[in-house]
Amino acid sequence: MPTLPWTVPNTPPAGAEAHVFASRFETKSLWGALKFFFRTPGVWRQVSRAPGAYGATLKAEVFKRTFWTLSAWESSKALGEFARSAPHAGTSRGLAGQMREAKFVSWTAKGGELPVEWEEAQRRLN
């Protein structure tokens, strides 16, 4: 699966700060990676219309069983509301047993600095 392009559901207001969130997931098995892969479209549709979402992208290396997310939000509260809503909430609970490792980082960026580059997210995740 190629990297999904940066999608902008809501344009940040001029001068706004964004809550940036990056994650890396590694599944225990190829079967877990395939489950993750097949559940991605529903969550991707959700983020594309999520209140407070300034942008998001996903990178998947299914056969290496590794997935990365990178997103920017109006606030950590907006991100939390997204994460607790369907289908994300059910998907993350349903995949929890498939995960070998997960890592999360967040930081603040100016709205004019979006989209954040993958290199920056990966540097922070290492």
Question: What CATH number is associated with residue 17?
Answer: 3.30.70.100
pLDDT confidence of residue 1 = 60
For residue 4, give the 3-state DSSP assignment.
strand
Total domains present in the chain: 1
State the residue range of the domain holding 22.
Answer: 4-125
Please report which confidence band the pLDDT of residue 48 belongs to, taking 50, 70 and 90 as the band edges: very high
Alpha helices in the chain (DSSP H): 30-47, 76-84, 88-95, 118-125
Region 74-84: mean pLDDT is 98
The verdict on whether omega for the bond into residue 87 sits within 30 degrees of 0, i.e. cis, is: yes
pTM > 0.85: yes or no: yes
Average pLDDT over residues 67-93: 97
pLDDT at residue 98 above 70?
yes
- Could you tell me if 86 and 33 are in contact, meaning their C-beta atoms sit under 8 angstroms apart? no
